[in-house]
Structure 1
Amino acid sequence: MTYENIIFETEGKIALVTINRPQSLNALNAKTISELSAVLDEISTDSNIRVAIITGSGEKSFVAGADIKEFSDFGKEAAEQLARNGQNILFDKIENLNKPVIAAVNGFALGGGLELAMSCHIRYASDNARLGLPEVTLGLIPGYGGTQRLPKLVGKGLANELIFSAKMIPAQRAKEIGLVNEVFSQEDLVSKAKELAATIANNSPMAISKAIEAVNLSETERGFETEIKSFGELFEMDDKKEGVTAFMEKRKPVF
């Protein structure tokens, strides 16, 4: 499939998705959201791909937010549909994808950009990254999951501070509060994300898929039961047989 606003590349078992609207600091418009949703479907069904990385083009911005001019004149119903549709086709889809998604945050990650990063399973950031949810300065609140995912990552108090103040924080502060996993130079960011992706890609894809599901339910009543059932189900799958056999034979497993 050909995309207009994203670049989709594969390197072995790793997919690299680059949001490519540098003239708009990679802001998320409807077309970009639709294309990201479509590429996630490709990644999900391609058995050769084990891990995905999402980043932005250029050195200034991961995603500077949603494209405000697209919805500036919306009414209540249209705005609700915008938020619901974005959650359904992109943000929730990333979080619940059957393969890990790493955000390589290379610069500004504001509003919808930070919400995109937070929907990913792991976040690496460049040392020039700036992260924030500025929606209240527009008389709005985050609409793509920001009020739900941020408290889970950094705690309710810090989430309130960031959302209410609309302030941007630097990458190092984001690491300190658990919003990003690691911080690297701009030059090393994507290569470090690829290193992690390669490590993940060597592990059991079925086990990782089950782990994603269980972790996503960790704050619900279904979390423990999902873990228990998944643990049992994996015992009847080929990946478990290969992993245990390799361990007993003192060799690396081949999944």
Structure 2
Amino acid sequence: MEFENILVEGKGRIQYITINRESKLNALNKLTLLELHDAFTAAFADDKVGGIIITGAGTKAFVAGADITEFAELDVAGGEALSREGHNQVFDLIANSSKPVIAAINGFALGGGLELAMACHIRIASDNARMGLPEVTLGLIPGYGGTQRLTRLIGRGKALEMIMTADMVTADQALASGLVNHVTTPADLLPKAEELLTRILSRAPLAIAAAIRCVNDAGRDGVNGFDTEIKEFGACFGTEDFKEGVVAFLEKRKANFTGN
């Protein structure tokens, strides 16, 4: 599959997706979002891919926001359609995937860039990263899930402060608030992401997928996450991976999970 604005590279069971618009600080335009949809859809359908690491090209930015030039001619209906399509095609696609996705934040993650990182299951930031939601400086609000995911990650008060002031936070501040999981040097960013994802991929894939569904339901209105957990817990007992895990435990050996 050929892409213009992203790079896709496999490394064992890990697939790298790199947003490759360095001269534009990897800003998200319509084509980039379309290519992200296609790349993630293909990765999720590929049995050889266990998980994905997404990052930005260069050393300055993960994604420095949306391409504002595409907003100029939009009206109310166009703005709503843009947001809804982004949710459905990219951000919710990532958040609801059954395969783990790690964001390696290698610089600025602003606006849609931070929203993209927050849609991922885990975030690792280099110590030079800066994160924020500056939309109110344009007379807008975050439109790709930022108001919802930021609130769930760091709490209502901190989320409102970040959104209403449009201030950026440092990597260390993001770590302290729970916005990111780890902070590394720029040189250690991708190795740390690989090490963490490799550890996750050594576990039972169906159990990982079930855990993602349960945790996602913990934040959904009108959904009882405890019921989801009960059903998913029970379903695990019907998998071959559960049988392998128990036998391996009793035999004091490493389990060989197959995702069945």
In the alignment, structure 1 segments of 5+ residues that lack a partner are: none
Poorly superposed stretches of 4+, deviation over 4 Å: none
Which AA in structure 2 matches 1:240?
Answer: F
**2:227 maps to which of 222, 225, 244:** 225
Deviations 1:198-219 (A, max 9, x none): 1011111111011110100013
Match of 1:58 in 2: 58
Aligned partners of 1:111 and 1:72: how far apart in 2?
A: 17
Match of 1:15 in 2: 15
Match of 1:172 in 2: 172
Aligned partners of 1:184 and 1:196: how far apart in 2?
A: 13
Is 1:195 the counterpart of 2:195? The answer is: yes
Using the aligned pairs only, state the percent identity. Answer: 56
Deviations 1:11-43 (A, max 9, x none): 111111100000100000001101111111111
Aligned-partner SS, 2:62: strand
Aligned partners of 2:159 and 2:41: how far apart in 1?
A: 31
TM-score (norm 2): 0.97
Match of 1:237 in 2: 239
Match of 2:104 in 1: 104
Aligned partners of 1:207 and 1:50: how far apart in 2?
A: 13
Aligned partners of 1:49 and 1:244: how far apart in 2?
A: 25
Please, what is the CA RMSD of the aligned residues?
0.7
Deviation at 1:222, TM superposition (A): 2.4
Which AA in structure 2 matches 1:222?
Answer: N
Deviation at 1:50, TM superposition (A): 1.1
Aligned-partner SS, 2:219: coil
Deviation at 1:49, TM superposition (A): 1.2
Superposed counterparts of 1:119-134, under 5 Å: 119-134=119-134
Aligned-partner SS, 1:123: strand
Match of 2:79 in 1: 79
Aligned partners of 1:124 and 1:19: how far apart in 2?
A: 16
Match of 2:256 in 1: 254
Which AA in structure 2 matches 1:81?
Answer: A
Deviation at 1:86, TM superposition (A): 0.2
Aligned partners of 2:6 and 2:140: how far apart in 1?
A: 27
Aligned-partner SS, 1:187: helix
Deviation at 1:72, TM superposition (A): 1.4
Deviation at 1:235, TM superposition (A): 0.5
In the alignment, structure 2 segments of 5+ residues that lack a partner are: none
